[in-house]
Structure 1
Amino acid sequence: MTRTDTIARAQTMLRSGEFLDELSRRVAYQTESQNPEKHAALRAYLTDELQPAFKAMDFSTRLIESPAGKGPYLLAEYRESDSAPTVLVYGHGDVVDGMAGEWRDNLDPWRTTQIGNRLYGRGTADNKGQHSINMAALRAVREARGGRLGFNVKFIIEMGEEIGSPDLPQVCERLRDDLKADLLLASDGPRLSAERPTLFLGCRGGIRIHLDVNLREGGHHSGNWGGVLANPATILASAIASLVDSRGRMQLDALKPPPLSNRIRAALADVEVKPMADEPALSENWGEEGLSAAERLYAWNTLEVLAMSSGNIEKTANAIPGRASAVLQLRFVVGTRVDNVADAIRAHLHARGFPMVEVSATQRFAASRTDLDSPWINWTAESIRKTTGKAPAVLPNFGGSLPNDVFTDILKIPTMWVPHSYPGCSQHAPDEHILLSVTEEALGIMAGLFWDLGELKAPL
């Protein structure tokens, strides 16, 4: 069979219902990693669903236990030749809370439901649907080539990504030799848009910053004490405004990345951030001045207020509150100095008259990015263009966070992420879904990539 035949074969898996049946079975596993009562489901997803699927393709498989007692890992390997390229594929089978009862028309999050171009279900976009696409495309190539691939493949599937991949670095460090590969080819997160295939090389990092103002216990009558008691909510709002202004621009240089290089600007020159009709419109005059929307989203840092609390908004009393709290998040790109973020914010607030604001930092994700000189970038982009007829958007990193640093920094391999979802997929929320049109295109893209990988006589 030809490359074109193989791509058609992969896409037929969607039209025939074969792929949807597979995905429906996988969505039915209630693999909520944040729920300790679902530990058995995390294991069953690997042992009862994925291990048989890999064994049917002649992969050897083994379970790796979590050092922290969390969900296990699945390692699957298929080897043909020591001289052929070896690709490592990553995915995660855990999901966030199902949020049953909050979905449109009371849809069951653990059952896939097709409505028009959308397929609803928890994990359809993040990440069961995405690694299922990659597995199906791999199977199509193997069948087209008479049971061979022309390259070696390793999969690592984790069950703790939604709780921050707590021991993935430790596991990969320990399995460094087992996971040795020439390339990571994985899928997670959204495309730039539903219409445009996307390749991203890494991810932004993230740090949660907690600001707390604790002045006194309880509230005090605003008529009797207003004007003579310091208000923690007012202090907190002013402190935040000294960090990020009313147009979302960061005020503290220590939180900003290095200036954008000409190379990054060139990479993003043809990238247009254009929401779909049912996605929120971009805000006018918001974010760092002098940057395009793509540069703000994929090449710059942002400081966002995630939550604020003071008093009781549901039952407001005529009282000055005694406490106020906020949680902010710094999203940052490679090159940002983040080791002393809390100290830098604390010093900034002290200098501006806010010594009463307590500062702490938690939940860190590292920023990482494959070197822009990697030959795998053009190879991957050209394969996608050949399959779809579209020039993919090539992003230095995507806006969210992934454990990409495990692969770039620990395993020392280039990372090519080809996402199969889109920004409006409602991942981590009720109504999570994938688009069937994107899924069909994605099956073709991955079949084309795996076919082209089998054509290489040696790694790039």
Structure 2
Amino acid sequence: MTSPAPSASSAAETALLEAVALGIPSALADLGALVRIPGIAWPAFDQTQLERSADAVAELARGTGVFDDVRVLRAHVDDTDELGQPAVLATRAARNGRPSILLYAHHDVQPPGADELWETPPFEPTVRDGRLYGRGAADDKAGIMAHIAALRAVAGVLGDDFDLGVSLFIEGEEEYGSRSFARFLRDNADALRADAIVVADSGNLDSRTPGLTVSLRGNARFTLTVRTLEHASHSGMFGGAVPDAMMAAVTLLATLWDSDGAVAVDGMTSRDAQTPEYSEETLRDEAGLLDGVSPIGRDDIYGRIWNRPSITITGMDVTSVAEASNTLLPEVSLVISARVAPGQSAADAYAALERHLRRHAPFGAELTFSDIDLGDGFLVDTSGWAVELTRAAMGDGYGVAAVDLGVGGSIPFVADLVREFPGAQILVTGVEDPHSRAHSPNESLHLDTFRNAVRTEALLLARMNERAGES
């Protein structure tokens, strides 16, 4: 029996996936070159490296042959004369009534931390056991290269039939709080406006199962200073009668959680939503939880991470062990980082936290709040055509049906996208898996996940190219 001839559409997609496969080696080589550039947006680091990184991304965008215009731009940080970090904006107008898509990622990375915690140098890309190791290899230079590799394949196969409008926005300060992001959107609104926006800065259920992120927790981060004394005093002469700042801080912080480790702050809410099954054994493996240490919180594990608030103390200014003396500390400063459940505003969550801390301040300790940074969470409207198209592309790209994910981390700028472009469908995707260790030593990218992510995006772009423009 003779098999039927493939349709024009299936033949084109077969050619497209072949082009993706052929382009993966060069995409990974380009990713390695990006990883070698230590572009960190924090002022303590060499900012010329961030400029190098932006220039390198701009050249990659030009090399696709897709864009009408490619520029490296900066926007002002709102309400200041300060310029934000360099971003890349590449644009291509839609043709013949086709829709448009905005592709986002970021080229800045987290500081590497202590070199001795890395098995190989953080800015020397290294492949072992099917993973590419290096700072930014996953978060988020792999997101950049997923866009570039997909565009190369689509442009190469479709040629003059590629009519989709495409904008590429590669930010340069996501890890530093996206301080100029909102202004950048306003300054470049016409170039960025699109029917769908792909934010390639999230992850997947695991290295084999693609995920479309439909909820993100918000964040409320601030510095708390606890003060009890006008000056330091001898702990032997006054200890037992005078509360030092460390004692007050420890006593106060303990009120933030209940006996199960769940957040115990009135006014911080949770979201009620079903989650996939996730075992404690998997949690231990993916998080590196030590034997004998129990998980915290109650109910389903994904629900604790995706739909409930959390509070973490991420830093503290206090006398080091090496310099410790018998002294009552007059003042302690610490950073509180709270994740806010989807559906609650970050401002409301912060207000609840401040109210709780002031109400529970022990011994009349003086509290000061500063460096407040708030970002709202995100809930996706999953009814749109672009969401349906993305899920289908993920299933075909990975060979496994996509799942809807919540993410415990925060991408606060997504709220800016929703505000500035309310008509756009937001598609939060990514190339990370639970073992990527983004922000940590030995960050890595699972190479098969990267290949499948490029396949997915190429299929999505090609299928969008077949649609009539959306109003």
Q: Alignment partner for residue 377 of structure 1, among 374, 387, 396?
A: 387
TM-score, length-normalised on structure 1? 0.88
224-233 vs 395-404, greater mean Cα deviation: 395-404
Q: How does 1:28-427 map to 2 (within 5 A)?
A: 28-35=36-43, 38-51=46-59, 53-60=61-68, 61-67=70-76, 68-81=82-95, 83-99=97-113, 101-102=115-116, 104-105=118-119, 107-257=120-270, 259-260=271-272, 264-265=273-274, 268-269=275-276, 274-275=282-283, 277=285, 279-281=287-289, 284=294, 286-287=296-297, 289=298, 291-339=299-347, 341=349, 343-352=351-360, 354=362, 355-360=364-369, 362-412=372-422, 413-427=424-438
Number of residue pairs the alignment of both structures matches? 449
Q: Alignment partner for residue 441 of structure 1, among 423, 434, 452?
A: 452
**How far is 1:206 from its partner?**
1.0
Q: Quick one: distance in 2 between partners of 1:346 and 1:171?
A: 31
342-351 vs 194-203, greater mean Cα deviation: 342-351
CA offset digits 1:285-322 (Å, max 9, x no partner): 512x3x41112211221122223454443343344333
Change (3 A) 1:153 1:270: farther
Q: Which residue of 2 aligns with 1:450?
A: 461
TM-score, length-normalised on structure 2? 0.86
Q: Quick one: distance in 2 between partners of 1:286 and 1:279?
A: 13
Q: Alignment partner for residue 7 of structure 1, among 17, 35, 50?
A: 17
| SS, match of residue 443 in structure 1 | helix
CA offset digits 1:170-207 (Å, max 9, x no partner): 11012222211000012113323223211113532211
Q: Quick one: distance in 2 between partners of 1:272 and 1:372?
A: 27
**How far is 1:371 from its partner?**
2.1
Gaps of 5+ in 1: none
| SS, match of residue 62 in structure 1 | strand
Q: Quick one: distance in 1 between partners of 2:54 and 2:236?
A: 62
Query: Does residue 430 of structure 1 match 2:438?
Result: no
> 1:272, 1:294 within 8 Å by CA — same for their partners in 2?
no
> 1:90, 1:184 within 8 Å by CA — same for their partners in 2?
yes
What code does the residue aligned with 1:408 have? Answer: V
What code does the residue aligned with 1:392 have? Answer: A
| SS, match of residue 156 in structure 1 | strand
| SS, match of residue 178 in structure 1 | helix
What code does the residue aligned with 1:70 have? Answer: G
CA offset digits 1:394-421 (Å, max 9, x no partner): 1255533342112111122221111101
What code does the residue aligned with 1:88 have? Answer: L
Q: Quick one: distance in 1 between partners of 2:151 and 2:92?
A: 11
**How far is 1:454 from its partner?**
2.1
Change (3 A) 1:90 1:234: same
**How far is 1:36 from its partner?**
6.0
| SS, match of residue 59 in structure 2 | helix
**How far is 1:329 from its partner?**
1.4
> 1:243, 1:252 within 8 Å by CA — same for their partners in 2?
yes
**How far is 1:211 from its partner?**
2.8
| SS, match of residue 31 in structure 1 | coil
> 2:58, 2:72 within 8 Å by CA — same for their partners in 1?
no
| SS, match of residue 87 in structure 1 | strand
> 2:316, 2:334 within 8 Å by CA — same for their partners in 1?
yes
| SS, match of residue 307 in structure 1 | strand
Gaps of 5+ in 2: 1-10, 77-81
| SS, match of residue 249 in structure 2 | helix
Q: Quick one: distance in 2 between partners of 1:58 and 1:321?
A: 61
CA offset digits 1:58-96 (Å, max 9, x no partner): 312123233232322221112342521111001111122
Identity among equivalent pairs (%) = 21
> 2:75, 2:187 within 8 Å by CA — same for their partners in 1?
no
Compute the RMSD of aligned alpha carbons: 2.7
Q: Quick one: distance in 2 between partners of 1:344 and 1:104?
A: 39
| SS, match of residue 144 in structure 1 | helix
